[in-house]
A and B are shown apart, each in its own frame.
Chain A
Amino acid sequence: GAVVSQHPSRVICKSGTSVKIECRSLDFQATTMFWYRQFPKKSLMLMATSNEGSKATYEQGVEKDKFLINHASLTLSTLTVTSAHPEDSSFYICSYQKREGNNEQFFGPGTRLTVL
């Protein structure tokens, strides 16, 4: 398998502040990465897809100005939740897809965001 890390694992912030979540692939280079969010007892919902060197493609209903994605390199992506509100509280998970292979995605451990 492949190793994907996320930082921080848990963050609590005040309403109105911005929070940055990092996602790194530790042992491979990824062409495509994905950000998901998961509400309690619900499944994962894809937020956006980004390919190396191009802007992220956001799913319908996801505000691109609120959830800023920067695919900085083949091994690092960041998700910034701007002006966070309590309804943004969720579990955010990133995943990477390898350059070569069978389209398999490798997931990070997730970040629990709580906005007070």
Chain B
Amino acid sequence: KQEVTQIPAALSVPEGENLVLNCSFTDSAIYNLQWFRQDPGKGLTSLLLIQSSQREQTSGRLNASLDKSSGRSTLYIAASQPGDSATYLCAVDDYKLSFGAGTTVTVRA
């Protein structure tokens, strides 16, 4: 059974600081890994999807890396802004999505 862990559970940083969010998974036989953003009481917004054959994906200030062999992914958010405050979820697809519990980020103005 796939287990997905996200560390830290919560993070508070001043505006402008770079964010580093970690995700680890136990079974490396995956199709892809996705990072999502969830605002309170809302659904999921897909941020980045990394295929199992890829090492990283970038979109604007976001960069996600994937090391399948070690079962790790990292989401970097450069120059954080208050609008980046949300919960970030990673999900691993190995025929179904298994989600981590998320990292709740607060960016202080």
Contacts and interface: CB of A to CB of B under 8 A. Distances in A.
Given A103-B32, A104-B49, A110 B43 contact: yes
Given A102-B51, A108-B43, A110-B42, A49 B96 contact: yes
Per DSSP, chain A at the interface is strand
22 contacts: A6-B43, A42-B101, A43-B99, A43-B100, A44-B44, A44-B97, A45-B99, A46-B96, A46-B97, A46-B98, A49-B96, A91-B41, A102-B51, A104-B46, A105-B93, A105-B97, A107-B43, A107-B44, A107-B46, A109-B42, A110-B42, A112-B41
Contacts of A34: 96-97
A112 B43 CA distance: 10
Contact of B43 (A1, A93, A102): A93
Nearest to B9: A41
A106 B46 contact: yes
B32 A102 contact: yes
A86 B93 CA distance: 31
Q: How large is the interface on A (under 10, 10 to 19, 20 to 34, 35 or more residues)?
A: 20 to 34
Given A1-B46, A43-B99, A104 B89 contact: no
Given A34-B97, A102-B49, A104-B34, A43 B89 contact: yes
A43 B43 contact: no
Interface in A3-28: 6
Interface of A: 1, 6, 34, 42-46, 49, 91, 93, 95, 102-110, 112
A66 B11 CA distance: 38
